[in-house]
Structure 1
């Protein structure tokens, strides 16, 4: 790592790398990667076979338990931290484009430096902590395939720091990420639905407004996405894993003041609440009607729970599948 190069990349951000927008994305990549050790990506044959077996087993178990049909993404990668940063810079750039193109900027030079530094900090922090990712490539142009990523150095480091068996921990992460692949695979409309609401919200922000309804709809949909994945993984994983969750949650809540500030700025606490709230909703539905009945949420956009139904799953059951039985 070269912190001085990273600081220099941010301080000299000009926007010339990707137009004259409010963020210099080439500088973001340079800065983020220069303060992030890429990590060791040396894989033994056992590691390679382990990842492949975990993903394959997760797909089989999740299809059986959830009664959902889905295919895995064509792109399944075991990545270093730098690989992950590069992949997600493309995502952030797509998401921020409406604001960059239409947003009104005061003191553009100063704003560009601040924005570039903020994005570099975010991606560096996440690059050191993300374990796996299902990437639906929201707002991507053309027919790009979804991606499934495992950040091998972070999984190895997390297993070591948590004092848990690496193959078992790796398998648990695989089941969680493949659970997200199951959702998007079972609901071809889901990506478009999320993109539309995200685009509405970003367009409003670019015009200096806040579309509360768009972001509320997005939050509700993501609560369903996170909650269903928790349910499916919980019912499909082939051994008890409460110790893994407890240790990982404790690790995420720990760290120094900078780490706690970063989690707050990145909204990771909100994501945790989405997990918990969504999981509680789907646990109630599955306990009363079965996992297959819960999977009805992906049949069409209208089956997504409303804000009120998230708090009262019985209202969703009465509306969507009142005649289903265990």
Structure 2
């Protein structure tokens, strides 16, 4: 177990490496996961998440690849909560915590490194001040990134504020388990233990309705190939799913060719899935010079459903003064062809 550090153009990178050569790289700007390297069925290691070739591009393009999203992930309709006017950065709405500043593209402080015989990790911290993006309260956000010797990568986000405020963080990593950023995710197999999903209107805002997934393209309770399901959904997947409470992982994603598999176990009540459908930008250089294309990656983002403050049935994202709240997700990586 070890941590490798390097710096380039003012950005600090920390690579967590376990005894089986699996690694996770996190940079301090945006507490961003820039790479996760795991082995395929032939023992070849490759990066299984989308990331820019140049660290500065994360900041230039502000496209959220691998970033920590806070204070609140997703949309808040009309950018308003109680008597607080939040930053309007998506038309008249508020998106991913606002942009004054945008926490996903600001430098985080490395509080400490963790290293034992069984795990390595980082603890990063960001303090967002009272009134930033319209939110009440000075909030300390702590991000823990821990890799263990069994291929489990755990992200924990803890928020603590001096005033009643909102907190609903997530991580915006796009997975491409093939390890080849020219291969689309259409043939990946996805399973989500969720009976309900959050319906969206024509503006991609939650309606507040939670239809059952039965007899719909949102039914991933049994493993399904992603591409045919996405083809039935106008604009692709960008929806939230209400996770069932189970003693086993709620989400599984599997690439049949490489054998790579990741499962998720989270204490968040929901998962937002983005298939990056119709998302293309030839300026981007990802994973060795590849341009961003539609359905090149699949984002699996545990959180409370977006716009929860306007839909009571979605759950609460309100936190009380000096009462820390933690959301934790464990990503277990494996290869089904290992014996």
TM-score normalised to structure 1 length? 0.29
Relative to its length, the structure with more strand (as a share) is 2
Relative to its length, the structure with more helix (as a share) is 1
TM-score normalised to structure 2 length? 0.28
